[in-house]
Amino acid sequence: MEKIRLAVIFGGNSSEYPVSLHSVASVLRSLDKDKYELILLPIDRDGVWYYYNGDIDILEHDHWKEHPSTRHAVFSPSAKEGVYILDDAEVQRMEIDCVLPILHGKNGEDGTLQGLLELSTIPYVGCNHVSSAISMDKDYTHIICEAAGIPMAPYISLLSCEEIDYDALIDEVDEKLTLPLFVKPANAGSSFGITKVDDYKDLQDAVQFAFEYDKKVIIETGIDGFEVGCAVLGNNELVVGEIDEIDTHNNFFDYDAKYELENTQILCPARVDTVISDEVKELTKKIFRILGGSGLARVDMFVTKDSEIYFNEINTIPGFTSASRYPSMMKAVGVEFPELLDRLIALAME
């Protein structure tokens, strides 16, 4: 059988660049080389595209740029044109059957890359550009899901282009929300730029910190409960993984808790009864449909002591090491990591 020419795009001009390198290294070690001809396209922190044909360990430890195989690359938006590999002597065009984007956060998970891929008419893994953009922007996610009756934490949004009167902001927050608060960049992942606020005197610093990561910031009421997640796989027919639970003793599920498991453990399956588990799974599928999802996503929610469920956020390209939450939840329902990758690529090429 002829191999599928699979372009794997990773890195990116995003604060989550190092997360992408760890994810893609795990993916590359698990892809069946008898099925796929791999074309590796790293993007550096400045947004410059390259072609790389070296060792996975070198890539994972961020030394790929010094490797002798590394050359500049241009991904064409022209239909079915593929990618051009550039060096001093020649230009080489490589055709592509499918794209596997392993980028997290801005410029990779927010619809920008997906728009380019749709112009190219080359199939790609994951949600389309509209779904990706809506899912990445926590403000738009709130607006659409709340309109569809999905329970979410009360919130307000702020724009950096508007002058903020912090005394007036505190009055508005006090009227509409409840302490503790979570102040977040509207478009960021991996808990970058997030602050938990227990006292209004800390609100201004939290907002200014969040604005370092995005031009839009949201302020949410903190939900008194624990966080669970659910993996979803599919286009028309959906498969959901086992739900997991975050047990953290940090102030919240921050970057160190996520990637170093500092004072944190991930429990799969979650310590909830069947009724809650089934409700989370059904709500996951509903949210995925509402936001126009395809391929995959991880949906995160809170469960309160009164068994109320609140939608927190959706990740359209979740962490993708073999031990990450999404693959672990799918493994718990019998889908091993190599099979998961095969199914995602098949879904992209339907």
- The stretch 178-200 carries a mean pLDDT of 90
Domain count across the chain: 3
Range of the structural domain that residue 101 is part of: 4-124
CATH number for position 173: 3.30.1490.20
Are residues 115 and 163 both part of a single domain? no
Residue 75 lies in a domain: yes
Q: Which two tokens stand for residue 33?
A: 């080389």
Residue 215 lies in a domain: yes
Place of tokens 């453990």: 265
Helix H or strand E encompassing 171: helix 166-176
Residue 275 lies in a domain: yes
Are residues 144 and 87 both part of a single domain? no
Query: Looking at the predicted structure, is the pLDDT value of residue 73 above 70?
Result: yes
Are residues 332 and 240 both part of a single domain? yes
Are residues 208 and 250 both part of a single domain? no
Residue 223 DSSP label: P
* Residue 265 near residue 276 (C-beta atoms within 8 A): no
CATH number for position 69: 3.40.50.20
Question: What was the pLDDT predicted at 240?
Answer: 98
Q: What is the C-alpha separation between 230 and 243, in angstroms, rounded?
A: 5
Question: What was the pLDDT predicted at 135?
Answer: 97
Residue 309 lies in a domain: yes
Helix H or strand E encompassing 129: helix 129-136
- The stretch 187-191 carries a mean pLDDT of 73
Are residues 185 and 62 both part of a single domain? no
Q: Is the dihedral of CA 13, 87, 124, 63 positive or negative?
A: negative
CATH number for position 140: 3.30.470.20
Place of tokens 């339907």: 350
Confidence of residue 190 (pLDDT cuts 50, 70, 90): low
Question: What was the pLDDT predicted at 257?
Answer: 46
Are residues 69 and 164 both part of a single domain? no
Are residues 295 and 163 both part of a single domain? no
* Residue 3 near residue 35 (C-beta atoms within 8 A): yes
Are residues 109 and 32 both part of a single domain? yes
Torsions phi, psi for 339 (to 5 deg)? -65, -40
Residue 220: closest CA among 313, 306, 303, 136? 313
Residue 130 lies in a domain: no
Torsions phi, psi for 194 (to 5 deg)? -95, 140
Residue 107 lies in a domain: yes
- The stretch 59-71 carries a mean pLDDT of 96
Residue 322 lies in a domain: yes
For the segment 232-241, what is each residue's pLDDT rounded down to a tens digit? 999 999 999 9
For the segment 88-108, what is each residue's pLDDT rounded down to a tens digit? 779 999 999 999 999 998 899
Are residues 146 and 292 both part of a single domain? yes
Q: Which two tokens stand for residue 277?
A: 């588990």
Enter the pTM of the model: 0.92
Are residues 143 and 270 both part of a single domain? yes
Residue 206 lies in a domain: yes
Are residues 265 and 278 both part of a single domain? yes
Are residues 191 and 92 both part of a single domain? no
